[in-house]
Structure 1
């Protein structure tokens, strides 16, 4: 799941996480990783390499991962979000009058869970991150309650997707080592979804083997050189140039037309259902790579 130095593809699961100590409920840690399961094991000392000095302090382990923000187009944007969340007291991504902290450097992300969640919400709604198509996964009921309470009344865009993966059985007992199975299951589900989407896209190409035409501009599609978008929704066989879909989204949303940024989401030109830009483009890049490797079989 890691991204090489020269790999231009969007990372599958590079995200920013919030840990909470199971023994000291008011102690938290913010970090970033493409592999939350392995990273949690490092923080809890199960893996000798990695971890962080703050999470190694006596009496704080085990740690539980309670929030994971993902969908970043690159590891750089994830690291920027991580730094901004850690340093909410001074980050340029949150206006001074909106920051939730007491003004002290050593409490830069807020001293309470309400403040930490509030600063996360502020970043999700900021100009720098709101258009990235980010998703928020919450693994703990208490944190979900804090999110819903929204003590400081901070709104976030309706296109920020929220996934709740609460396990009451886990919440009712102290887990030695943290919520490993929750995080591992989450990672597995993300990977399966992405692989299924790509497989279905390849199958769409097979079914249209005689010719591949963009359903927007009706011009030929080159499966090995063009960035081709596929509808995410099952049983829809729409395929189109990425650039054509981008222009169509902008035309259907005039307020975004002059914005010097990429779209967030748009309707499929065939079935009319909403697709998210970053998910579609990441899949398009994967399909393109597989086609270049001839990782598909067109039958006669």
Structure 2
């Protein structure tokens, strides 16, 4: 699983209007607050990155600093929002291309989306993103829509809200506060799947109930099949009930927990603790 693939949208603020005061206190970028910001301009740029801080510096630095041709000498740019939580970089890049080219994308080209009168370029791109998040295969990903500049938030279009399992968050992506347990009592064995009874041989095969009070272990494919019940047209459910405790869960929460477990294992320096499962209470 790859939670580091982000698709973002840049906006170039309008120049200061004559006789009008700027909006105070809104940063131009993550790392540079000059104390003022103006309304959205007419330029938007959609891109892909694994490092938002570095990418915004590149775009504002021009082509010589690694920025794109389309953003060169047209800034300053602000990274207003990002969509993250794609299962891999390929999925994120496909979303990026469809967001850039809605009239060509097989996913939504039949909708013939056009910018309507008085709709800003940014509002139009936000509407396109909402359509994409509601279209297959993106409608089943555990995505997060994050407003990096919360004061620039626009309401999602009423006619096409993001799916209920897509999280909405604000501010910068912070490194997880979860510590890597250094003692064996901070871990449990993978054990056996509570559905099929077979051993879970690899950590990458394991998912668990999101409830810390339960945290029952399952094969990912077993829990997915259980959640799908009679719907065999999909690979995994959007939600379900834990077969052990009966708690309702969102599949996105199950996958987010799995990603955290795998990241902790990747960061574990003690080879004797590799492949073990951190206790749910330690995350």
TM-score grouping bracket, smaller chain normalisation: 0.7 to 0.9
CA contact (8 A) 2:62 2:71 kept: no
How far the C-alpha of 1:273 sits from its partner, in A, is 4.4
Which residue in the other structure is 2:103 paired with?
Answer: 89
Which residue in the other structure is 1:234 paired with?
Answer: 212
Is 1:154 aligned to residue 160 of structure 2?
yes
Residues 202-250 of structure 1, C-alpha deviation per residue, up to 9 Å, x if partnerless?
86643xx5x823233344333x467121334434432222222112111
Aligned pairs for 1:1-300 within 5 A: 10-23=1-14, 25-45=41-61, 49-57=65-73, 60-101=74-115, 112-141=121-150, 143-144=152-153, 146-148=154-156, 150=157, 153-165=159-171, 186-187=172-173, 189=174, 191-192=175-176, 195=178, 205-206=187-188, 212-222=191-201, 224=202, 227-251=205-229, 254=230, 257-271=231-245, 272-275=247-250, 276=252, 277-283=254-260, 285-286=262-263, 293-295=271-273
Q: Structure 1's 294 and 87: CA in aligned 2 closer, same or farther, altered over 3 A? A: same
In structure 2, C-alpha distance between the alignment counterparts of 1:63 and 1:22, rounded to whole Å: 7
Q: Aligned pair count?
A: 244
How far the C-alpha of 1:123 sits from its partner, in A, is 0.7
In structure 1, C-alpha distance between the alignment counterparts of 2:134 and 2:275, rounded to whole Å: 44
- RMSD across aligned positions (CA): 3.3
- Structure with higher strand content: 2
DSSP 3-state at the match of 2:222? helix
In structure 2, C-alpha distance between the alignment counterparts of 1:76 and 1:67, rounded to whole Å: 20
Residues 124-164 of structure 1, C-alpha deviation per residue, up to 9 Å, x if partnerless?
111221111211001234642x234x26x223321121113
DSSP 3-state at the match of 1:42? helix
Unmatched runs of 5 consecutive residues or more in structure 1:
1-9, 103-109, 166-185
- Structure with higher helix content: 1
In structure 1, C-alpha distance between the alignment counterparts of 2:208 and 2:85, rounded to whole Å: 18
DSSP 3-state at the match of 1:26? strand
DSSP 3-state at the match of 1:243? helix
DSSP 3-state at the match of 1:133? coil
